[in-house]
Structures are given as structure tokens and as C-alpha cells.
Amino acid sequence: MATVESSFATKHPAVHTPVKLERKLVGRIGPWQLVRLINESELARVYVARPADSADDKSAAYVVKVLRKEWWRDAHAIEMQRRAAWVGRKVSHPHLLPVLSAGVDQPPFYTVSPKLEGRSLAKILEQQRRLPMAITLWIARQVAEALDALHTTARMIHSDVKPANIVVAPDGHATLVDLGFVHTPGESRHWSSRPVYGTLNYLAPESLTSSLSASPQSDVYSLGVTLYEVLTGSLPFVGRDAEELIRKHRETKPDCITLRRPDASKAVASLVARMLAKDPLRRPESAAEVAEELVRLEIDSFAARSA
């Protein structure tokens, strides 16, 4: 593994690049001093923070995700925050971002997690169109292991697996983040209730029907889309609008990755194709099965590289 880590750090300096802090907001929420705003969405703002009783020169080693004020009376948004807090505390896994503490009983609603080193896989792909085979399989395997822990320990589906929610450290350690959309299998929720359109690129076909009927295999599909994108440098499906994108996810067969990535083996292409099967029953049965297969493919890729 040391060889892979060394290779990753050397060949992917983009991971070392610190996140540019666009603006600074200093404030306090509960026992936490908010040092800088680092990200925001329609639902929440994310800050780096430190305990309020710590010295001002102490580094901010935590991340506080705060539900935006306009959602404080939205029962569904509050429930999502509470569920994320519960899952983040219940599931302990090295590749899943934990929730260390939370304030979800009354406004302001927030969760606290450790600050991760590195960059999101989406940011890395912005600078580097695709990653080496061995590194790609390694990252995907780590995410599959995180999903397996989520599925088996909390009996929850992540429902938002995509490069933007995978943080890769300088040594190649991958962490699946953002539990804001976790839900139980089969829970009814229409995709249009999500405020983030970009997620549509990664949602499984069964999640794009009139009501949500998802399963752990839905996360396998989303990881398959992510793996396809990292391997080939492009998404398996693109559309001019949501309607066309949804139709392609439900009806169109993606190009085999070997057409876009000639060095991909038949075994890698087969796994990706099965992960992207329209019928959930034709996908790998579990994230654990995906992880096991990825381990074998990693070993094969190392052997091929050293041959």
C-alpha cells in the first residue's frame, strides 16, 4: 500500500491544494466558534470551526454543517438533519465521515464532524480528467466498504453517492461524506424534492420513478456511475434537461468503458456494466460484493502494471 500512497501523492498534487476560502464569517453556534465559511448549498452552510473555549490561535479541526434559517420550519429538512446526525453517530467506519456532536432538537440545527484533509473527487477530476486504474479501483473499493457499513449497521441508503461527496486525502484515503439524504429502503420520496439537480446524474433508475423505491443496490448503481466517470473522464449519461437525463438512466445502455478507456480489462468493464444494470436484481447483491471484487481487480491492476 505504501507504493500506491507514494504514487498517489506524487502523481496527484491537486489533492494537496488547499480549498480556497472565498469569504470569512466569524460567529458562534452552541459551543463552537465558526472560523470560516467553506461551502454552502440551498439547504446548509458549512464552516470550519473549533471549540469556542479554545485559544484563538488553535487550528480549526472541525466542520460544522448548519441548516439554513429558511428551512428551520420545514419538517422534512429538519428530519433529514436529525437522521444524518443519528446515522453519523451510529455507524463507525474509517471511510465514512462520522458525526461527533449535533444540535438538532431546536434551532439552530447543526452537525459537527472532523475536518478532512484533501479534496473532493469532483475537484480532482476538474484538474485531471481521469485517474490511473489502480488508484480509481482503490478509491471505489473504499467507498464500497463505507456503503456496506452504512447498509448493514444503520440499514440506511446513502442516496447521494457522487464524486462531490467523496473526499480523497493526500495519501489516497477516501471518505464518503454528506449523510443529508440517507433514508430507509423503499421510503417514498420523489426525486424532485431534492434541491440539488446535479444528483440526477448519479441516481439509479428506480429512484427516478414517481415515488422512491430504492434499495442498497441503488447506491451500487450510483457508485457505478462514479466509477464510470472516473475511469473514462465522462458520465455514462448526459441530457439537455432532467427529462432526457431520466429517460437515459431508465432506457439507454451506456457505452462499454473499454471504448473510452482501452486499458480497462474485461473484468473491470464487466463489473461497471453490472453495477449500471437497469434492473437492481442484475446488479451485485451488495456493496460488500462490489468491494470484494474491487480488491481482486486492484491486485490484477498492480500485477499488470509491474509486468
Residue in the block written with cell 486499458: 263
Judged by phi (left if over 0) then psi (alpha if -120 to 50, else beta), residue 30 lies in left
Distance of alpha carbon 171 from the chain centroid: 18
DSSP string spanning 254-267?
PPPHHHH-TT--HH
Phi, psi of 38, rounded to the nearest 5 degrees: -115, -15
- The residue annotated as part of the active site, out of 53, 57, 148, 160, is 160
- Residue 210 corresponds to which cell in the numbers above? 414517481
**Distance of alpha carbon 157 from alpha carbon 187, whole angstroms:** 10
Q: Is residue 53 among the annotated active site residues?
A: no
Pseudo-torsion of CA 123, 129, 132, 133, nearest 10°? 100
CB neighbours (10 Å) of residue 149? Answer: 18
Pseudo-torsion of CA 69, 165, 188, 66, nearest 10°? -20
Which residue numbers are catalytic?
160
